[in-house]
């Protein structure tokens, strides 16, 4: 029992540092805007000019349930569909925009691209 308590106590001490490390390394990498597919570049322009968007869910809250992006309060992230050629539905490609310090996704400069329906993200480098 004493050994179990010691192990749990040690994990409690390590966990906060592990969370901070996860926050810093929450994105997989970066992608230059020039390397995005044309459809994604077009959606980025629409985000910055407030639409119009092709899908009703565009601009809706992205919950970050996968915890792949830095943790933020609910409503901070918004998701936008990037058309996938040949797909009959919304497809798997998305841009997720963060509100930034100013609270506006149009000017935050915080944009993430996923081409595999949130299994991975790359921060868009402009």
Write the pLDDT tens digit of every residue in 106-125: 999 999 999 999 999 999 99
Contacts of 50 (CB under 8 A, 6+ apart): 106
pLDDT given at position 77:
98
Decide if pLDDT at 3 tops 70: no
pLDDT given at position 63:
96
Catalytic residue among 39, 79, 110, 126: 79
Q: pLDDT tens across 91-106, in order?
A: 999 999 999 999 999 9
- Out of 2-16, 33-47, 103-117, pick the least confident: 2-16
Decide if pLDDT at 24 tops 90: no
pLDDT given at position 26:
57
- What is the pLDDT confidence band of residue 66, given thresholds at 50, 70 and 90? confident
CB 60, CB 107: distance < 8 Å: no
- Under CATH, what is the fold of the domain 2-125? Nuclear Transport Factor 2; Chain: A, (3.10.450)
End-to-end Cα separation, the chain, in angstroms: 54
Instruction: Please confirm, yes or no, whether 39 is among the known catalytic residues.
Output: no
- Angle, CA 42 vertex, CA 40 and CA 48 arms, to 5°: 105
Q: pLDDT tens across 70-83, in order?
A: 999 999 999 999 99
Tell me the backbone φ, ψ of residue 95, rounded to 5 degrees: -115, 130
CB 120, CB 68: distance < 8 Å: yes
Instruction: Please confirm, yes or no, whether 30 is among the known catalytic residues.
Output: no
């Amino acid at each position: 029992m004493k050994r179990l308590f010691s192990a749990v106590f040690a994990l409690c001490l390590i966990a906060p540092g592990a969370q901070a490390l996860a926050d810093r390394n929450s994105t997989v990498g970066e992608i230059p805007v020039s390397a995005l597919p044309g459809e994604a570049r077009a959606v980025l322009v629409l985000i910055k000019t407030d639409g119009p968007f092709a899908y009703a869910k565009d601009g809706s809250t992205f919950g970050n349930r996968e915890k792949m992006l830095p943790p933020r309060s609910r409503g901070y992230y918004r998701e936008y569909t990037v058309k996938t050629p040949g797909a009959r539905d919304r497809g798997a490609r998305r841009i997720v925009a963060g509100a930034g310090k100013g609270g506006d996704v149009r000017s935050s400069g915080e944009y993430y691209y996923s081409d595999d329906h949130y299994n991975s993200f790359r921060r868009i480098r402009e």
